[in-house]
Amino acid sequence: MHRLPLLPCVVAIGLAASLAAAPAAAQADTFPTISGRTYSGGSAKLTVTGSANISREIPINTQASFGDGSSTWLQFGASGSAEPNVLITYGETKETGIIVGQGKFGATGVITPGEKSQCSGKANVTSTLVTGEYTCTGVTSLNADRSMGTVNITVSFTARS
């Protein structure tokens, strides 16, 4: 039996580990730091295709949108309403949630650091503005008729504080 020298094996394992960690580090770098604030205006352009189709510009719901410095909720439209709506969340665990709905239809995409995600994108933050764009592909949805489906989601948004 032929044995491989120890040093090349260690180098190969180290290289594989560093490559595996790169996507997790890249995801963590896209998570925005948002200070505590309330929101005064903005909108989201939502596009959903697949088992449901939505294409709508939705105003921000200023009463339901806020941040406490560690978590932020950006609600566009009214959750659970018959009209299209989207909620973008930034949590303490650095997860980003993209939740879309219209009546009984709903779908949720998540960016979780260190895990493979169906969503990608990022947000930019200033002292008075949060803007961003996210794309989610192959997200499982609950359709209005209560059947399961698959959708693609694109949302670009602006939230003024």
The full DSSP string for the chain is: -PPPPHHHHHHHHHHHHHHHHHHHHHHHHTPPP--SEE--EEEEEEEEEESS-EEEEEEB-TTT-EE-SS-EEEEES-TTSSS-EEEEEE-TTS-EEEEEEETTEEEEEEE-TTS--SEEEEEEE-SSEEEEEEEEEEEEEE-TTS-EEEEEEEEEEEEE-
Count structural domains, the chain. Answer: 1
| 16 assigned to some structural domain | no
How many angstroms separate the CA atoms of 49 and 120, rounded? 17
What pLDDT, on a 0 to 100 scale, did the predictor assign at position 154? 98
| 18 assigned to some structural domain | no
| 93 assigned to some structural domain | yes
| 20 assigned to some structural domain | no
What pLDDT, on a 0 to 100 scale, did the predictor assign at position 51? 96
| 69 assigned to some structural domain | yes
Cα-flanking dihedrals φ and ψ of residue 146, to 5°?
Answer: 75, 10
What pLDDT, on a 0 to 100 scale, did the predictor assign at position 31? 86
Residue with structure tokens 């008075």?
Answer: 128
Domain that holds residue 128: 29-160
What pLDDT, on a 0 to 100 scale, did the predictor assign at position 12? 35
**Which residues fall within 8 angstroms of residue 5, CB to CB, at 6 or more apart?**
none
Q: CATH number, domain at 119?
A: 2.40.128
Mean pLDDT of each 10-residue bin along the chain, 161 residues long: 39 35 41 94 98 98 96 97 98 95 97 93 96 98 97 98 94
What pLDDT, on a 0 to 100 scale, did the predictor assign at position 30? 64
Q: CB burial class (10 A; 0-12, 13-18, 19+) of residue 31?
A: middle
pTM: 0.81
| 14 assigned to some structural domain | no
